[in-house]
């Protein structure tokens, strides 16, 4: 386990840029689950989240030389994942509009949740989790991503500001407003 943190993310990236593919595997190992969680909370679809995660990790591989050490590796990776997630959501929205325009009046769209659940969790917790997840989807995307990054991923405001490329004050106020909006949605 000591070997796991032998190198910082930035050192691993430098090694990967100079051709060490093991460094890439280590980066994937470190970020895979965190990213999957972030993307899923944003797009609310496990399969889509996996596709976006794959696109993100492939882009890290193919565009490794675009990373400059002036930024943290984590912020660079989250920025890529966030951009892919937004693009996929936009595509899905467009597809839904087209589907609805071709749908008959008796047709219905069912979305079956496919979440890997921990067996020891109680029913009540699962229910509120789903409620929170639904409430997150009701937020506009410029509120949703900062609140996920802060309250689920537990990133710092400074990092979130860099990932989203918005001023620190804007990030703070968006998170503050998103929390209050979530709270009132859950109360309904």
Task: By CB under 8 A, name the binding residues for another protein.
Answer: 28, 32-33, 36-37, 40-41, 46, 49-50, 53-54, 57-58, 61-63, 65-66, 115-118, 121, 125, 128-129, 132-133, 151-152, 154, 172-173, 175-176, 179-180, 182-183, 186-187
* Minimum distance, C-beta of residue 102 to another protein, in the bound complex (Å): 31
Q: Name the residue nearer to another protein (CB basis): 21 or 94.
A: 21
| Smallest separation, CB 59 to another protein (Å) | 10
The torsion angles phi and psi of 167, rounded to 5 degrees, stand at -60, 155
For residues 130 and 114, give the distance between their C-alpha atoms in angstroms, rounded to a whole number.
11
Which residue is it, tokens 């079956």? 112
> Least Å distance between CB 100 and another protein?
28
Nearest residue (CB) to another protein, 46 versus 166? 46
Nearer to another protein, 28 or 71 (CB): 28
Q: Which of residues 58 and 98 has its CB atom nearest to another protein in the complex? A: 58
Shortest Cβ 99–another protein spacing (Å): 25
């Amino acid at each position: 386990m000591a070997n796991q943190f032998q190198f910082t993310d930035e050192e691993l990236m430098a090694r990967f840029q100079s051709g060490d593919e093991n460094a890439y595997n280590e980066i994937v190992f470190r970020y895979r689950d965190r990213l999957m969680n972030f993307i899923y909370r944003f797009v609310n679809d496990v399969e889509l989240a996996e596709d976006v995660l794959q696109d993100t990790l492939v882009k890290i591989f193919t565009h490794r030389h675009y990373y400059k050490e002036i930024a943290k590796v984590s912020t660079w990776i989250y920025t890529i994942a966030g951009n892919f997630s937004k693009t996929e959501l936009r595509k899905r929205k467009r597809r839904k509009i087209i589907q609805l325009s071709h749908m008959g009046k008796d047709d219905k769209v069912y979305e079956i949740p496919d979440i890997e659940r921990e067996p020891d969790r109680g029913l009540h917790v699962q229910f509120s989790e789903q409620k929170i997840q639904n409430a997150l989807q009701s937020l506009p995307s410029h509120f949703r991503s900062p609140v996920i990054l802060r309250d689920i991923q537990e990133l710092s405001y400074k990092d979130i500001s860099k990932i989203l490329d918005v001023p620190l004050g804007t990030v703070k106020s968006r998170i503050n407003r998103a929390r209050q909006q979530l709270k009132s949605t859950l109360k309904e």
